Structure 1
């Protein structure tokens, strides 16, 4: 049975803060995020196991992880693809795009994990990328964001030997107000083959005005699934 593999990467809103308050996760798992026998997660020690929330518990280890968009994405996609879904959690909270440059620990770990996952059997179908809040803190970050994001896409495709790998990027829903819209404009305007953007603006945020609440994570996951099925799955 074919395994459709998806890389989940970026920063905290991809790793998931839904249901986290006062450094504790409430443990509530919405029905759209429940485990499914056909959905698997690639662990930090490079093993496939049954996927369940929180997906990034052994990856984004310096923070408390909760619900993210990954499981609702997988449960939505599994209805329309034949086989299994494999998720490779790689996101780490608070990381700037510069920290995902080639030769960085974050980038090289993502490549290592992705190659190892595929070698276990399966095909990498897309990168789901949600990052940018950290880069809303200065004009310098704005000025270099497009170049860095395009470089990440080119490097990832080259290093995985997947020149047409679909990239589904999320336009951020939060950040420092002075520069947030500038980063969002860059994200929405990335013009590269097989790169599409899903807009998270308007989804409900937690009290910190930075992270998506659980229901918003569910909705975003379904939006990402719709984008993948619409743009990259033949009817």
Structure 2
């Protein structure tokens, strides 16, 4: 849809809003300006202006947590039948787009842990834009197209400048490649340098992971948890017991007793890797992905290729667990 504004023509852009009672429209962000100008309709009286808020094509398959998406259109309508008919036609088109978006509930995955889950690797050029058919839970507990850094909306993260490429990107890519019709929703809530004790039930890190996962479950189906942590507990002899309890607590609080849970080994020959490797024999419905062969940028944090490969390994393990459900 185009509008005429002065002597030029421009495409109408806008943004999705939560379904619900009508509200006063707020000014959209600079990157999403509404089209404002004289409607390109026959016999439109001079100086009649219209303001449109229409979702751009990129967002049309998505919706916001807590309600289906809708696109609001605000107009100053001339008292002419043809202008009113034109308005009704636009509203019908928008309603159809809203109904189509309602079929897109994603498979949701919770990604938690410390710095390697948050991501410290450089983001490659081909991972700078949004990932098709993948959404990320943002700081308003709403879905938006997933783009790096995926840990940007973590409610427990360190400085935003530290957030880079983690395993979530390669993980989502691999899942989508294996299921061309799937939609993936990521809830990434990691914290660099965190110890497993900080993820114990009742702590802030644990509570936020559960809260955000539950928010995502209002418009999606939780399919699994990815856990990458252990560098800060490298020599902890009780690590496996603590991890087992974390798995059981998450499953109980999220209402999914068989929720797939995949843990990833850390870089280097760390003693904690032996504990992580024994998780599948200790807790049913869990898996451990190896970090063998993955390179790091500093001895601890995986490099770009390593993070992408780690994500693919997570996806392979999740798919195996889901097939066994």
TM-score bracket relative to the smaller structure? 0.7 to 0.9
Question: Shift of the alpha carbon at 1:230?
Answer: 2.6
Larger Rg over CA atoms: 2
Q: 1:153 aligns with which of 239, 242, 247?
A: 247
TM-score calculated relative to the size of structure 1:
0.86
Runs (5+) with no aligned partner, structure 1: 20-26
Question: Shift of the alpha carbon at 1:46?
Answer: 1.0
**Map 1:131-210 → 2, pairs under 5 A:** 131-136=229-234, 138=235, 142-174=236-268, 180=270, 182-190=271-279, 191-206=282-297, 208-210=298-300
How many pairs align?
A: 215
Question: Shift of the alpha carbon at 1:77?
Answer: 0.2
1:116-169 superposed Cα distances (whole Å, 9 cap, x missing partner): 1101x1110010110000111x5xxx2221111011000000000100000011
Q: Secondary structure at the match of 2:144?
A: strand
Question: Shift of the alpha carbon at 1:79?
Answer: 2.5
* Structure 1 CA distance for aligned equivalents of residues 159 and 148 of structure 2: 17
Question: Shift of the alpha carbon at 1:34?
Answer: 5.3
* Structure 1 CA distance for aligned equivalents of residues 207 and 258 of structure 2: 20
2:158 touches 2:192 (CA, 8 Å); kept in 1? no
1:90 touches 1:110 (CA, 8 Å); kept in 2? yes
TM-score calculated relative to the size of structure 2:
0.63
1:33-84 superposed Cα distances (whole Å, 9 cap, x missing partner): 8533310000133111100110012322336111111011111101233431
1:62 maps to 159
Moved over 4 A (4+): none
Tell me whether 1:89 sits opposite 2:188 in the alignment: yes
What is the root-mean-square deviation of aligned Cα atoms in Å?
1.7
Q: Secondary structure at the match of 2:211?
A: helix
* Structure 2 CA distance for aligned equivalents of residues 127 and 47 of structure 1: 19
Q: Which has the higher contact order (CA 8 A, sep 6+)?
A: 1
